[in-house]
Structure formats: C-alpha cells, structure tokens
Amino acid sequence: MAQLPLNTFKTKTKVLGTDTGTHATVYTAPIGVTSIILMAQISNLDTSTHTVNFFHYRNRPVLADSQGNGAQPGRTASPLVVNFAIPPADAGSPLAGKMILEQLDSIQAYADTTSTLQLVLSVLETANA
C-alpha cells in the first residue's frame, strides 16, 4: 500500500462562473487527508465591482460525539461570505483566517457574472494517521 506524503502544499486556481443551481467546487480534500486552507484570495479583473459567494461544503455526514453533540448532515453548504463585493482591479479574502477541511469536504464558490473573478487557494494537505 502506497503511503501518502505527510505534508503537501498546493495552489488551486479557478475562474468563477455564475450559480447554475449547483455551486462550483473549487477544491475537495482527498480521502485520507485533512486539508488546511492557508489563504483564499479573489481577484476582480474587470472595470466594475462584482460579488462572490463562498461556501464550505460538507459532503458526508458527521456523527455525534459520545455526549450527543456535533452531528452534522451530509451534502450541506455553509456560506462563509454572501454577495461579497470585490472592487474593480482589486482583490479580497473571503476567509478571516485559516480553515480546516476534513476528508471529502469542499470549497465552493460562484460569482454574479461570468466571470472576471479569479479565486486562488493556498492549501496544506496532511495525511491522516
């Protein structure tokens, strides 16, 4: 059985499209990996202000702990920013700090227009023990 590297740094980029009923998945933490989003930046390459919506998406359910707390359903999008305005020729960060993604959790995002907004994620993937 092949071993996963302990720590791997990655950069993911995506030009954001509009919402078509399903949010665009930008990144999904692989099986056997916990990921840390170190940085997320959205650049507006247009001459007008545009907005972005940025989500954490839980793909699989999380069971409650031994005290019955913390259960979460699967297939759940949690908005981190909604209608976040990015001025023309500028950039913004939809995260105030770092974010942990458990295996199979995703980052999803979409813009108000097709698109002049580009998202860059800096990710640290760590193999689960």
Q: Is residue 2 one of the residues assigned to a domain?
A: no
The reply to whether 1 falls in a domain is no
Q: Assess if residue 28 is contained within a domain.
A: yes
- Give the domain CATH number at 81: 2.60.120.1330
Q: What is the mean pLDDT of the chain?
A: 90
Boundaries of domain holding 22: 7-61+72-127
2 pLDDT band, cuts 50/70/90, is low
- pLDDT value of residue 83: 95
The 3-state secondary structure of 42-73 reads EEECCCCCEEEEEEEEECCCECCCCCCCCCEC
**How sure is the predictor about 127, in pLDDT bands with cuts at 50, 70 and 90?**
very high
Beta strands in 1-116 (DSSP E): 7-15, 24-28, 33-44, 50-58, 76-86, 91-92, 99-101, 106-111
| pLDDT tens per residue across span 74-112 | 889 899 999 999 999 999 999 999 999 999 999 999 998
Asked if residue 66 is part of any domain, the answer here is no
